[in-house]
Amino acid sequence: MRELGAPQIAEYEPEVRGLAAIHVGTTGICDFVGVARQLAGSSGADIRYGARLVRVDRRPEFGVAVETARGEVVRARVMVNCAGLHCDEVARLTGDDPGMRIVPFRGEYYELARPGLVRGLVYPVPDPAFPFLGVHLTRGIDGGVHIGPNAVPALAREGYGWGTVRPRELAGTLTWPGSWHMAGRHWRYGAGELRRSVSKSAFTSAVRRLLPAVTSDDLVPAAAGVRAQAVLRDGTLVDDFLIREGARTVHVLNAPSPAATACLPIGREVARRALAALAAAG
């Protein structure tokens, strides 16, 4: 890593402005869809796409059986729950209390019409009081540059747009005490994020803090994502990994945007806990 002063930033990113920066020479990008396909093809795992879990029967002396909406039953000695946006619901299906609730936040992105303005990956200094990184610039493997995201409440766990509303899921968010504690603490920050969601000019202004040459015409709407944010009952936003265990179960309840390079160490930790659960069960 190399610490950069304001004049030195231009050596790496001529159009980016800042007071100072840290250059990480080993940072890179990859085709993670390709990585996932390669892992799926070489792991020997049985992958069932579109299989919605509806019931879990856990018997500590025997193991775990899960039933899908199609009526299929899958049995295992240990169950690892990495269900992302639905991980808390899956934990409750096993009979374990996760002690948190997933509150979905949609991150909206734009694509840069002039990708030549950015050479690599540019990240702002995050607000230590809030676990969202803020607007950043990401050059993809196709040469395009994505700008974003903001962080606005989603009206469904898979609410990738304002038009997607699922009343049951929204009610689950609104009845969770932590949601109201969180709103009371961070409403000013949230108001700014909402403003950037509905106002392209406000979003452009946020981008121009890093990239002054950007205009509103340079921003082309792109696909959004949804962050599975774990919120505790007291409103604490979990900004680190949250893994909890029960009898023959390992629940991964918060996994904050791990880079692809971090997946193997995370996988090893989850595997270690799964093996420990198996050993404890005899």
**What CATH number does the domain containing 186 carry?**
3.30.9
Q: Global pTM?
A: 0.87
228 and 249 part of one domain: no
Same domain, 112 and 219: yes
Classify residue 17: in a domain, yes or no: no
Beta strands at 79-81 and 121-122: parallel, antiparallel or unpaired: unpaired
Is there a single domain that holds both residue 117 and residue 198? yes
For residues 74 and 70, what is the distance between their CA atoms, to the nearest angstrom? 12
Give DSSP secondary structure letters for 60-106: TTTEEEEEETTS-EEEESSEEE--GGGHHHHHHHTT---SEEEEEEE
Q: Which residue has the tokens 């403003």?
A: 195
Yes or no: say if 126 and 133 are a contact pair by the CB < 8 Å rule. yes
Do residue 266 and residue 211 come from a single domain?
Answer: no
Instruction: Count structural domains, the chain.
Output: 2
Residue 131 lies in a domain: yes
Range of the domain at 73: 50-99+239-282
Q: 205 and 152 in one domain?
A: yes
| Per-residue pLDDT of the chain in tens (282 residues, 90 and over written 9) | 999 999 999 999 999 999 999 999 888 888 888 888 888 888 888 888 889 999 999 987 889 999 999 999 999 999 999 999 999 999 999 999 999 999 999 999 999 999 999 999 999 887 776 666 678 899 999 999 999 888 899 999 999 999 999 999 999 999 999 999 999 988 887 888 889 898 999 999 999 999 999 999 999 999 999 999 999 999 998 988 899 999 999 999 988 765 555 667 888 899 999 999 999 887
Nearest to 74 by CA among 96, 55, 93: 55
Q: Looking at the domain assignment, is residue 1 inside a domain? A: no
Q: How far from the centroid of its chain's Cα atoms is residue 160's Cα? A: 13
